[in-house]
Amino acid sequence: MGRLFGTDGVRGVLNKELTPELALRLGLAIGSFFQEGSRILLGRDARSGGDMLARIVAGALTAAGVRVYDAGLTPTPALQYIVKNDGFDGGVMITASHNPREYNGIKVIAADGIEIPRDKEREIEEIFFQQRYRRVDWRSLSHETRPYPGVNEKYVYAVISHVDKELISRRGFKVLIDPANSVGALTSPWVAKLLGAKPITLNGHLDPWFPGRNPEPTPDTLTDTAKAVKALGADLGIAHDGDADRAIIIDDMGRVQWGDRTAALLTRFLAEKHPDLPRRVYTAISSSIVVEEVLREHGIKVVWMKVGSVDISRRLAAEGGLAGFEENGGFMYPLHHPVRDGAMTLALMLQLMAEEKTPLSQLYDQLPQYHLIKTKIPMTRDKALKVVEKVKEAFRGAGEMITIDGVRVNAEDYWFLVRPSGTEPLLRIMLEAKTREKAEALLAKIKSIAEEVLRE
């Protein structure tokens, strides 16, 4: 039996891989997975085809006897928060998150507001491939999709309830927010304003073509945003992906900071604020070794996991901890909701800055420094897996080897991760070393292995 779900939901190029026909069948499978009469909250980001997919999925869910409520345009963490706190049986989010603009996707949320576990994904796939759809009697189809207003407002006020509004307001921070022409524009500037900051928005109008920048926030895509932060004298810059569950921070010097460095600062801060929480964090093996270096000094255990926010969120919810996070900007604060949340990250960072009374750049400069390289090579998943096996052989004995997702090697003065992407036909390479020369030599060796596989 085939697979539909990737690292986080079902994604594909719109009208090529993710077709209306597939969306209809997947909607029927999702509706059949939930109990008849279940209340499902449906939302979408600003991507092209989002309205089309939402209507198709809503119809399919209704045909399966599910009651559909429409949240409209909303960030994924807002939909997740409302699903849990307003007593829905589940949710469906139409989004492809950070993927290029030609992609869209479908994400399924459980009643606890977290993406459904992997075993439940398999149940939906079985219904899909075996076409075991439930279709209710026509008498049960009188319930049409109903609007569910106020989702973004409830979410925004929930976020700011976790920080000290008066303390932050007294600092009068200037914040540049880049929501990538998508739904983060509906919530993050609102959060900043309610906290007494002055929000300046770049790429803030909704546009399915993402004209301002690529929806994945990285140093390469945030060049102009970073320049704007420095030119405008902002205390903080923040950039979201397409559904605003990620937040990449830009400091006052215009330097783009990866999510794991931000998480090191926030987790250390949260450990002081919440001594009652378990002294552990959960993160993917794509995160920097800096995390462990910093948090070990504060008695905080780092639990390494395979890449995928779903698994991290579920582990955090089940076992408890200070936080969960990813290097791509996903940060999970369990006292709010144990899922990636861009606006919550913004609020927590403002709280940290207000209490520390130190420029953000100086806080980041306190962290250990490594030379970081991230790159990707287009190739099929099969070839990417072959590269992983050859890298294991080439670096056997070089250091601690972790193989829960691709291969990661932790050596004395470097670490690297080589893994197939869970959402695109790519091989992802991430590495850090104490010197640029060492980092570039490592990359050259790994690339030569990849090129050898591609030639086969």
d(CA 180, CA 239): 7
Instruction: Give residue-wise pLDDT tens across range 302-357.
Output: 999 998 899 999 999 999 999 999 999 999 999 999 999 999 999 999 999 999 99
The half-sphere exposure of 144 on its side-chain side, counting CA atoms within 13 A, is: 1
**Burial call 333-362: b when 16+ CB within 10 Å, e when fewer:** bbebbbbbbbbbbbbbbbbbbbeeeeebee
CA-based diameter of the chain, in Å? 70
Which pLDDT does position 6 carry in this prediction? Answer: 87
Instruction: Give residue-wise pLDDT tens across range 65-77.
Output: 999 999 999 999 9
Assess whether pLDDT exceeds 90 at residue 141. Answer: no
Cβ-count burial of 209 within 10 angstroms (0-12 exposed, 13-18 middle, 19+ buried)? exposed
Assess whether pLDDT exceeds 80 at residue 2. Answer: no
Helix (H), strand (E) counts: the chain: 15, 21
Sheet holding 407-410, edge to edge: 371-378, 426-433, 414-420, 407-410, 400-402
Cβ-count burial of 373 within 10 angstroms (0-12 exposed, 13-18 middle, 19+ buried)? middle
Are the beta carbons of 339 and 309 closer than 8 angstroms? Answer: yes
Q: Of all helices (H) and strands (E), which one includes residue 319?
A: helix 309-319
For the chain, which domains are there?
10-149 (3.40.120.10), 154-365 (3.40.120.10), 371-455 (3.30.310.50)
- The closest of 270, 289, 288 to 280, measured between CA atoms, is 270
Instruction: Give residue-wise pLDDT tens across range 90-107.
Output: 999 999 999 999 999 999
pTM above 0.85, yes or no: yes
Q: Which residues have a catalytic role annotated? A: 97
Which pLDDT does position 124 carry in this prediction? Answer: 98
Assess whether pLDDT exceeds 80 at residue 176. Answer: yes
Instruction: Give residue-wise pLDDT tens across range 235-292.
Output: 999 999 999 999 999 999 999 999 999 999 999 999 999 999 999 999 998 899 899 9
d(CA 368, CA 153): 39
Q: Residues 6 or more apart from 336 whose CB is under 8 A from it?
A: 81, 158, 159, 162, 344
Which pLDDT does position 143 carry in this prediction? Answer: 80
Q: Could you tell me the two tokens for 401?
A: 């080897």
